[in-house]
Amino acid sequence: MYDIIINKATLNGVALALEKANLGESVLVINQYGFCGGSMTENFALLTLKDISEAELALVDEMKKERGAVLFESEEDIFFNPETVKSFLLKKLQHSNISLLFHASPFNIEMEEGGVKISVMTKDGKRTIEGKKLVDTSETKDLEKVNGEYQKVLSYSIHPILTGGLNSYDLQTAKVLKSKELNDGRVWIDLNFEANTLSEAEVKAHHVMTELTKQLNKENKRIQLAPTASQKII
């Protein structure tokens, strides 16, 4: 039995895992994907500095020292190279005696006296893990949907990185909320669209990217990096 099970290797999740491990607690981090970072790497989201804790800020300051880590920075936001985020956070976890279970999606939670059981689906099948405490550090409250308590999500964002920006974005499938020129000349954009379900969002995201690609092609530009998933706005 672990002292604490943390769902999602977000910046917040990694900071919490390191804190608990430094106190001598046994820690397991569960993550849906095979890499760390949450929305910073899955969705290429900007990190809003006013929303993070001191422990997270300490990780940010350390990560900024990595070569080529920062692609955009303002007083309010920072955008890290997603590959830097993945490698930096993974190294921090691996060097701190923290157990990792990646490619794991929770599907059942049972609260018991003195602890909790969480069942996850992995590449190797179902696993049930016991812990004294379970903490959800996902940005979109992923564990709420396991027990059918989650809020209905109507808004999604997707953040592609382009070889160059357009003078105007005349998209029928999404609204462009933000556009940032990165240090290397590429352009990050925040595309927002509505959907009633995750499956509908995946279809709409495909349509958004297709329409954007057609517009970029007219100016000999392209999408250089596309995120793994759309970001739910709750």
User: What value does the CA radius of gyration of the chain take, rounded to a whole number of Å?
Assistant: 19
- Per-chain mean pLDDT for the chain: 91
Q: pTM value?
A: 0.90
Nearest CA among 182, 186, 230 for reference residue 209 = 230
Instruction: Check residue 70 and give its pLDDT.
Output: 97
State both tokens at 115: 């602890």
Bridge partners, 189 (sequence order): 179
- Portion of the chain with pLDDT greater than 70, in percent: 95
Torsion region of 16: left, alpha or beta (phi above 0 gives left; psi -120 to 50 gives alpha): alpha
Which pair of tokens denotes residue 157?
Answer: 């964002």
192 burial type by CB count under 10 A (0-12 exposed, 13-18 middle, 19+ buried): middle
| 70: Cβ contacts below 8 Å, ≥ 6 apart | 64, 78, 79, 80, 81, 183
The confidence band for 132, taking pLDDT boundaries of 50, 70 and 90, is: very high
Tell me whether domains 4-147 and 155-233 share a fold. Answer: no
Q: Which residues pair with 115 in a beta bridge?
A: 112
Q: In the CATH scheme, what architecture does the domain 4-147 have?
A: 3-Layer(bba) Sandwich (3.50)
- For residue 216, what are its two tokens? 């970029």
pLDDT of residue 153: 58
CATH assignment of 155-233, given 2.40.128, 3.10.450, 3.40.720, 3.30.70? 3.30.70
159-192 pLDDT, tens per residue?
A: 999 999 988 888 999 999 999 999 999 999 999 9
Summarised one tens digit per residue, pLDDT across range 73-128 is 999 999 999 999 999 999 999 999 899 999 999 999 998 888 999 999 999 999 99
Long-range contacts of 194-200 (CB under 8 A, 24+ apart): 194/154, 194/155, 194/156, 195/153, 195/154, 195/156, 196/152, 196/154, 198/153, 198/232
pLDDT given for residue 149 in this prediction: 53
Cα–chain-centroid distance for residue 34? 12
pLDDT top residue among 26 and 229: 26
The set of residues, in sequence order, having a beta carbon less than 8 Å from that of 119 and lying 6+ positions away, is 106, 107, 108, 109, 110, 126, 127, 128, 129
Residue boundaries of the structural domains of the chain: 4-147, 155-233
Q: Is 144 exposed, middle or buried (0-12, 13-18, 19+ CB in 10 A)?
A: middle
